[in-house]
């Protein structure tokens, strides 16, 4: 008969064994990983598209600099938060069990991190603009948006250069990525 203490020790040892065996196995297969990543990125793309459209409307709307500043800070903050949420989901997808899987997973996370940082930098830049003189404010907004666009483009991950045939095929085939 086992004592409660022996049962606790057995449970603890079993838990450690399960964790160690799980660490020895591979991550999700290429198709499952690609599907998880595309599920994480799909709502993010929609959100970014909506926020971009709203930002463009703000740039052409007849508002005061103070109103424009508040709206732009909110929009850029929303993009920053949406990107961080997508980044966390991609991290949670793990590392695919494929040749080059670690490199590919790291590339996706690095790209989303750079995009999140670019939105945060733009938000802080707009927050720092003075609204006392409209021309100066809008010149600052344009410069900030130009920088954001350059940083966004520089952070893009080109999935056509993936070093894994398995993952390239998975991204091409899974319905979540279409």
pLDDT digits (tens, 9 = 90+) for 71-98: 999 999 999 999 999 999 999 999 999 9
Structure-model confidence comparison of residues 125 and 59, the more confident one: 125
Residues 24 and 16: beta-carbon distance below 8 Å: no
Flag whether 62 is in a domain.
Answer: yes
The reported pLDDT for the residue numbered 162 is 65
Flag whether 165 is in a domain.
Answer: yes
CA distance 119 to 147: 10
Please, what is the average pLDDT of the chain? 83
What average pLDDT does range 110-115 have in this prediction?
Answer: 95
- How many domains, the chain? 1
φ, ψ (nearest 5 deg) of residue 49: -60, -45
Q: Say whether pLDDT at 116 is over 50.
A: yes
Structure-model confidence comparison of residues 142 and 6, the more confident one: 142
Flag whether 8 is in a domain.
Answer: no
CA distance 10 to 19: 14
Flag whether 60 is in a domain.
Answer: yes
Q: Say whether pLDDT at 127 is over 80.
A: yes
Q: Say whether pLDDT at 13 is over 70.
A: no
89 exposure class (CB count in 10 Å sphere: 0-12, 13-18, 19+)? middle
Q: Which residues contact 2 (CB under 8 A, 6 or more apart)?
A: 10
The reported pLDDT for the residue numbered 96 is 96
Quick one: what percent of the chain has pLDDT higher than 70?
A: 83
CA distance 80 to 76: 6
Flag whether 101 is in a domain.
Answer: yes
pLDDT digits (tens, 9 = 90+) for 60-74: 777 899 999 999 999
Flag whether 105 is in a domain.
Answer: yes
Q: Report the predicted TM-score, pTM, of the whole model to 2 decimal places.
A: 0.80
Show the domain range for 142.
28-177
Flag whether 94 is in a domain.
Answer: yes
Can you tell me which residue has the tokens 């894994």? 164
Flag whether 150 is in a domain.
Answer: yes
């Amino acid at each position: 008969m086992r004592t409660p203490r022996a049962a606790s020790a057995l449970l603890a040892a079993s838990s450690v064994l399960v964790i160690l065996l799980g660490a020895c196995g591979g991550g999700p297969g290429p198709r499952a990983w690609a599907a998880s990543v595309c599920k994480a990125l799909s709502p993010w793309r929609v959100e970014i598209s909506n926020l971009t459209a709203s930002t463009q409307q703000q740039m052409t709307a007849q508002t005061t600099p103070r109103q424009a500043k508040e709206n732009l800070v909110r929009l850029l903050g929303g993009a920053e938060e949406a990107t961080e949420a997508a980044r966390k989901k991609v991290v949670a997808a793990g590392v695919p069990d494929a040749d080059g899987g670690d490199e590919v997973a790291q590339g996706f996370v690095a790209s989303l991190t750079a995009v999140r940082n670019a939105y945060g930098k733009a938000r802080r830049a707009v927050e720092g603009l003075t609204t006392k003189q409209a021309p100066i404010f809008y010149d600052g907004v344009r410069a900030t948006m130009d920088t954001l666009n350059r940083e966004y483009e520089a952070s893009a991950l080109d999935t056509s250069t993936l070093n894994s045939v398995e993952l390239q095929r998975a991204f091409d085939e899974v319905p979540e990525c279409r």
